[in-house]
Amino acid sequence: MDRTRDGTLEGAGGPGGDRGVEALTPEETVAPVLAPVATVSGGIPAVVSALRHAVGETGLYRAGRLLLDLNQTRGFDCPGCAWPDPDQHRSVAEFCENGAKAIAEEATRRRVGPEFFSRWSVAELSRHNDYWLGKQGRLTHPMVLRPGSSHYEPIGWDEAFALVASELNALDAPDQAVFYTSGRTSNEAAFLYQLFVREFGTNNLPDCSNMCHESSGVALGEALGLGKGSVTLEDFDHTQLVVVVGQNPGTNHPRMLSALQRAVQRGARIVSVNPLPEAGLIRFQHPQHPLDLLGKGTPLASLFLPVRVNGDVPFLLGVAKTLLEMAESRPEIIARDFIGAHTDGFEAWETAVRAAPWDALVAGSGIDREGMRALAELIATNERIIFSWAMGLTQHRNAVDNIQEIVNLLLLRGSIGKPGAGTCPVRGHSNVQGDRTVGITEHPSAAFLDRMKATFGFDPPRARGLDVVESIRAMAEGRAKVFLAMGGNFLSATPDTELTARALRSTQLTVQVSTKLNRSHLVAGRTALILPALGRTEVDVQATGRQLVSVENSMGVVHQSQGSLRPISEELRSEPAVVAGLARATLGGRSKVDWAHLAGDYDRIRDLIETVVPGFEQYNRRVREPGGFYLPNGPREGRFTTSIGKARFTVHPVPDEPLGPGQLMMMTIRSHDQFNTTIYGLEDRYRGIGRERRVVLMNAEDLRERGLRPEQLVDLTSHFQGETRVARRFVAIEYPIPRRCCAAYFPEANVLVPLGSVAQRSNTPASKSVVVTVAPSEGSVPVHPDLHGEAPARL
């Protein structure tokens, strides 16, 4: 699977053709600027970066107004990560560096309107990288790319809705349409969206959770009865031990560092388990604490364990095996009263752990028994333990096993359902958890569908719908003919970029409800629509006046969000209004829902959510209270809502070693100047890599073993079930990563991720378990023009 010499895709025909469009980011590699790997996060550089982005994109006055409203109880929720806000007191500056960047991207003064699209063809746009595309500005008007056309052109809202309705109603069956949702969509818009889709007649509601924390939901649901974490932000003030596994909070959830700093200052210990050393877990200078800025900041992780990529199951089993051996002389280590009263399956799990061979655990994890014992001793001597994780655990073939082994350790110590203890999956998008709560899922429960039927008077479809991976396959095979995305950048977020592009091009219609230009607008079906939406920062006025929306954070708190800026274009519509318009046009007189009535006042939508979704009693009153309200959480309260009413110990095998001679295990990662597929800039400041994103981080010994030198241009080839995929012209960077492992940024490396390589039971793409080989590429790395001929070097 490779690109042709002119850069287009093999077999990229279908209804949309290819229009000369490149699906992948251009292979234009320049020499990166290298600096020392950072050992401290936050501080003055974070302040400078935040202000530079905010002021540079929006202007001084607008930036100040936005930042003072960001994450405040009467302000708007950050469209970035889902880290929670404090329940009580909030600081004047309740945001982080990357939150400021997210706001700057949305509130930018730059515009992408009809004149822009008249100037640029989709083929010309596709030859720019994702960073350039995102920096062009906010979308201002509905646009259509008609069959055979090379340029988007303006279209009226009513005509756009009629076009979508015509294509949907012409399908042979509702299941020939796919309705995707990103995590930025509010509860209100998401609930209306799933209502429209189910009244249309399908459960094809894939969402970004399919690609990130689906594994967490499956693992926690099976083991504890609820697919969400069990801790609150306050628990970090009571914990004794925080184990951060497969997570880089300094870049992906920077406000978490404040909670970790407070925990350390109260005497807690922090352990980092991760293939890469990350500055955010080494030392933190709080940007709002003058003494931190003047001094060296606070050391965070007192123990760093550089586990191999996907070495987590053998590592966690090794820690468990050590604890069981220690308990032979220290029986209090095992919380037998808790285990007997609240769990099932302990004996079978204990037998399996004791039987696991030490050599396999050490070899598979890359951590020796001494390192495992260091963590085991901390777990044995503390009861208030929090395990926190992100996609470093969820995007492997054995991802569900990874998370359930964490649950096993917490159950062993009785460390769930008490203050300062429990599970903490950190969501990477602001409302991906809320969207799932209000019904965005391809496999809704029978109870949810029953309540939908009782509330709305139609019988919703019962058959399981398509998730992300299944949707790509269905479009590629011609079984799905219409693709509609409520936010997001589907092409760049998904695996197997060339196959995904071929799938999108095979459709009759692609529809993107968006705020900014992205690559998914350029790889389109026979006809394509861009429908511009209001951002979180903007005032939303409907028939009954100014509206507020609500979101759910990583810890199950539902709270309001209300923008304060004048919309950048009179042509923008809110997401609930867009959904209502699509539904009215598509369903017409056969709908049992008064869509205009609901879109005119979001309180009416919340009344319906309260009727359908448990836990939302008195929704409209409680969401207006400062800080919002917590949804019910059985494990947090010591109640395990599995089918047997108890938490389950689960047994998992040690994963087989999949690497052959010369192969490496690659994981995809974000840079510090990035949020999901949005590229804020080209400076991965903490890792000391600037100006270039097409890089691969490799161990020094692995470079030498392959006869490669640092900063050499290389090609990456992934290997899966006899298939190969190639990513060309990456720069090899020497980096402290375990042997036989490597890392590369997404979305640039997504072309290497096979669609068929997924997590068992959750079907999440295994983007952090990609088997690759690395070989020299033709040519040399051009020096960046800003360097004036100077050779790059890591200082």
> pLDDT band at 54, cuts 50/70/90?
confident
Cβ atoms 226, 642 nearer than 8 A = no
Closest CA to 404 of 644, 652, 637, 641: 652
The CATH class given to the 33-37+664-787 domain equals: mainly beta
CA atoms of 345 and 349, how far apart (whole Å):
6
Tell me the average pLDDT across 489-517. Answer: 97
The pLDDT tens digits of the residues spanning 725-747 come to 999 999 999 999 999 999 999 99
Answer yes or no: is pLDDT of 581 > 70. Answer: yes
Q: Are the C-beta atoms of 297 and 43 separated by less than 8 Å?
A: yes
Q: Specify the range with the lowest mean pLDDT, choosing from 383-392, 478-487, 772-781.
A: 772-781
Q: How far apart are CA 307 and CA 220, in angstroms?
A: 23
| Secondary structure class of 699 (helix, strand, coil) | coil
pLDDT digits over 359-379, tens only? 999 999 999 999 999 999 999
Contact in structure between 122 and 149 (CB atoms under 8 Å): no
Q: How many CB atoms lie within 10 A of CB 663?
A: 16
pLDDT bucket at 515, cuts 50 / 70 / 90: very high
On average, the pLDDT of the chain sits at 93
**Where on the phi/psi map is residue 662: left (φ > 0), alpha (ψ -120 to 50), or beta?**
left
Using CA atoms, how far residue 714 sits from 481, 489, 776, in Å, is: 38, 27, 4
Question: What average pLDDT does the segment 617-634 reach?
Answer: 97
The confidence score (pLDDT) of residue 8 equals 33
Share of the chain above pLDDT 90, in %: 84
Q: Is residue 524 pLDDT above 90, yes or no?
A: yes
Phi-psi region of 693 (alpha: psi -120 to 50; beta: other; left: phi over 0): alpha
The DSSP bridge pattern shows strands 723-734 and 695-698 to be: parallel
What CATH number labels 106-208+431-629?
3.40.50.740
Tens of pLDDT, residue by residue over 467-481, are: 999 999 999 999 999
Burial of 721 (0-12, 13-18, 19+ CB in 10 A): exposed
The pLDDT assigned to 18 comes to 67
Return the closest-CA partner of residue 714 out of 703, 722, 724. 703
pLDDT value of position 791: 36
Query: Could you give the residue ranges of the DSSP H alpha helices within 414-486?
Result: 432-437, 446-456, 468-476
The rounded distance, in Å, linking the Cα atoms of 82 and 553 is 5
For tokens 């997404």, name the residue. Answer: 746
Tell me the average pLDDT across 494-519. 97
Residue 209 has pLDDT above 60, yes or no: yes
| DSSP letter string, 673-691 | TEETTEE--SEEGGGTEES
Integer Cα distance of 780 and 310 in angstroms = 32
Name the E strands within 426-526.
Answer: 482-486, 509-514
Gap between the Cα atoms of 112 and 749, Å rounded? 27
| CA-to-CA separations, 41 to 37, 296, 381, 686, in angstroms, rounded | 11, 10, 29, 7
Is the per-residue pLDDT at 2 higher than 50? no
Query: For helices 575-587 and 157-169, what crossing angle results, to 10°?
Result: 50
Phi, psi of 143 (to 5 degrees): -135, 150
Alpha-helical segments (H) within 613-728? 619-622, 700-705
pTM: 0.95
Which residues 6+ apart lie within 8 Å of 205 measured at CB? 179, 180, 181, 193, 194, 197, 439, 440, 441, 442, 465
The domain segmentation of the chain, as residue ranges, is 33-37+664-787, 106-208+431-629, 214-425
DSSP designation for 655: P
* CATH number for the segment(s) 214-425: 3.40.228.10
Segment 394-417, tens digit of pLDDT: 999 999 999 999 999 999 999 999
Long-range Cβ pairs for the range 363-366 (8 Å, 24+): 363/314, 363/657, 364/308, 364/311, 364/313, 364/314, 364/315, 364/654, 364/655, 364/657, 365/307, 365/308, 365/311, 365/312, 365/314, 365/315, 365/318, 366/306, 366/307, 366/308, 366/311, 366/738, 366/739
pLDDT digits (tens, 9 = 90+) for 550-576: 999 999 999 999 999 999 999 999 999
Task: Check: CB of residue 733 under 8 Å from CB of residue 32.
Answer: yes
Q: Is the pLDDT of residue 6 over 80?
A: no
